[in-house]
Structure 1
Amino acid sequence: MATAALTRYTPEEYLALERNAEFKSEYLDGRIVAMTGASIAHVTITGNVHGELRTRLRGTPCRPFMGDMRVQIGGGRRYTYPDVVVVCGEPRFMDGALDTLTNPALIVEVLSPTTEAYDRGEKFQHYRSIESLREYVLIAQDRVLVERFVRGGDFWTLSTIESLDAALELTSVDCSIPLREIYYDVELPAAPAVQ
């Protein structure tokens, strides 16, 4: 049985296509991967986190961006669109188009059933190569669960938050967000009854 050859693209070809595309795609070592639509919970959580960060970071050197800010990883081997990304200090872009950030301090991803394994595994592995990145946050959309990874030298430390009464402490941008605000207007499944 014959197999179809995979089309490989250079980073330059990807960027030329992406900057004129109607829909977003990520670039993974020569492959262009279309991004799918998001659930209402995903979109709500992303908006909540961005809104809270925008309010809390006003007047500081840090600036949040939502889903349309592309991030370059590994000198152009990968380009992704994090759900929320924060840069502190002067943003650095890969070129004059000002649409591809190279120095994020914080990246937040809202987990989806189709991307959760990738966000936790290979994507995080590549994000860790970004020298400026200090914190990586994963937020579940189907239950109250926030996982925060903080860089300490060559190591990353994980902390987990599973209560709406707790807050997400973000050391990379020196602020905290109550989980009630992160999950505001999100319909979560009812907790199972204790027997």
Structure 2
Amino acid sequence: MEARQKVSPQEYLAWENSHECRSEYRDGEILAMAGASAPHNRIVANLLGELHQPLKGKPCDVYPSDLKTRVTATRYTYPDVIIVCGEPLFDSEASDVLTNPTVVFEVLSPSTEAADRGEKFSAYQQCESLQEYVLIAQDKVSVERYTRQESGLWLYERLAKREDTLTLSSVSASLSLDEIYYRVSV
């Protein structure tokens, strides 16, 4: 098997802007993104809808998965949902690349779960603006939240009942799991 040729972040950004399909970038490699399932999309839509009201009037914005985010110098992703508090900052070389997420949500899929839990979370931890990282299962009621502590360590919390409440301390917002999983059969 022939090794893939590595590309620079600038080459990735130029390539990404000239193609209709979205791809993420990891350490010199362009990774094609697969489509999402109906439950995955329902959860994302529920998050966007439910986060609008608690963030209204705050200096925070919520964005869907179409906003490319630079996590590190060699990692660009498309999180499922992003919250940015304060002025959104964009890459000086690419005005469509966010650089300061406050909260990132990833809806777990069988093809992405290992990466979302492992190397992707490891990269997100290097992003200084990120305060909370939330993983949401689509095949069962399970929400996991990692919160950055002042010491730099990450505190883990798992919620597994529809009546549980996800509290996003960095943006002073709460969502019930029943709202997150509204009309999702799990």
Question: C-alpha separation between the residues in 1 aligned to 2:66 and 2:92?
Answer: 16
Deviations 1:103-142 (A, max 9, x none): 1110000000011011001000000000010000000000
Question: C-alpha separation between the residues in 2 aligned to 1:126 and 1:163?
Answer: 29
Q: Indicate whether 1:145 and 2:142 are aligned.
A: yes
The answer for the alignment partner of 2:159 in structure 1 is 161
Q: TM-score, normalised by structure 2?
A: 0.96
Question: Per-residue deviation at 1:26?
Answer: 0.2
Question: C-alpha separation between the residues in 2 aligned to 1:187 and 1:60?
Answer: 32
Quick one: which of 17, 20, 27 aligns to 2:18? 20
SS of 1:73's partner is strand
Q: State how 1:94-109 maps to structure 2 within 5 Å.
A: 94-95=91-92, 97-109=94-106
SS of 2:87's partner is coil
The answer for the alignment partner of 2:45 in structure 1 is 47
The answer for the alignment partner of 1:80 in structure 2 is 77
Deviations 1:132-163 (A, max 9, x none): 10000000000000000000021000011011
Inter-CA distance 14–96: structure 2 relative to 1 (3 Å threshold)? closer
Question: C-alpha separation between the residues in 2 aligned to 1:86 and 1:20?
Answer: 27
2:132 maps to amino acid: E
User: After alignment, is 45-54 or 130-139 more displaced?
Assistant: 45-54
Q: Indicate whether 1:36 and 2:26 are aligned.
A: no
Equivalences, count: 185
Question: Per-residue deviation at 1:177?
Answer: 0.5
Q: Which one has the largest radius of gyration?
A: 1
The answer for the alignment partner of 1:135 in structure 2 is 132
1:101 maps to amino acid: L
Q: How well do the aligned residues superpose, as a CA RMSD in angstroms?
A: 1.0
Quick one: which of 165, 168, 171 aligns to 1:170? 168
2:171 maps to amino acid: V
The answer for the alignment partner of 2:121 in structure 1 is 124
Q: TM-score, normalised by structure 1?
A: 0.92
2:141 maps to amino acid: V
Quick one: which of 88, 93, 96 aligns to 1:91? 88
User: After alignment, is 63-72 or 97-106 more displaced?
Assistant: 97-106
Q: Indicate whether 1:185 and 2:183 are aligned.
A: yes
Moved over 3 A (4+): none
The answer for the alignment partner of 1:193 in structure 2 is none
**Contact 2:80 2:107 survives alignment (8 Å):** yes
Question: Per-residue deviation at 1:96?
Answer: 6.7
Quick one: which of 53, 61, 64 aligns to 2:62? 64
Question: Per-residue deviation at 1:172?
Answer: 1.1
Question: Per-residue deviation at 1:97?
Answer: 4.7
Question: Per-residue deviation at 1:78?
Answer: 0.7
Question: Per-residue deviation at 1:169?
Answer: 0.4
Question: C-alpha separation between the residues in 2 aligned to 1:120 and 1:171?
Answer: 21
